[in-house]
Amino acid sequence: MSKLFQALLSGIFVTFILDFFLFLGIKVNYTDNFDTKLYYNILFADNQNIVLFTLSSILLGYIVIYVNNKIALSIIGVLFMLSLATLIQPVGSFVGELLFLEKNVSLKTDKFSYRGDIYYRGRKDIIFYDYKLNKILYFDKNTIQGN
């Protein structure tokens, strides 16, 4: 196996592990707070940026194979700790808000208009906090106009 191919496979593996813990922390500490029936696999697959994943895989693969072992271990260790940090409730919630929260948004259905925050846009539904009702609402994407 060539060293270049080995670097690419190593980078994909390391990136996948880091992404796994990042999205696990977001699921446990952000989306599960809204009593959603959002499965981890859907969250992970729908929000994966293929360009960022590819670039990270190439960079981390290069670091793992071609850089000094102590430096590579330090870099991978720091990234792993940052990824694991999302399992801490305030950190996971903050990262989830950075990625998914849309503040002060207006939604319209056939009969009503709502103003509030979108907590998460899923494949089929939207988790929305309405300011007037002080309540979390769940909308089917097909019922929202102009979305």
Q: Tell me: the pLDDT tens digits for 30-53?
A: 988 887 778 888 888 888 999 999
Rounded CA-CA distance 71/118 in Å is: 41
pLDDT of residue 147: 58
What's the predicted TM-score (pTM) here? 0.86
pLDDT of residue 52: 95
Rounded CA-CA distance 103/105 in Å is: 6
Do the Cβ atoms of 30 and 97 come closer than 8 Å? Answer: yes
pLDDT, greater one: 33 or 103: 103
Arithmetic mean of pLDDT, 137-142? 89
pLDDT, greater one: 146 or 54: 54
- Using CB atoms within 10 Å of the CB of residue 43, give its burial: 0 to 12 exposed, 13 to 18 middle, 19+ buried: buried
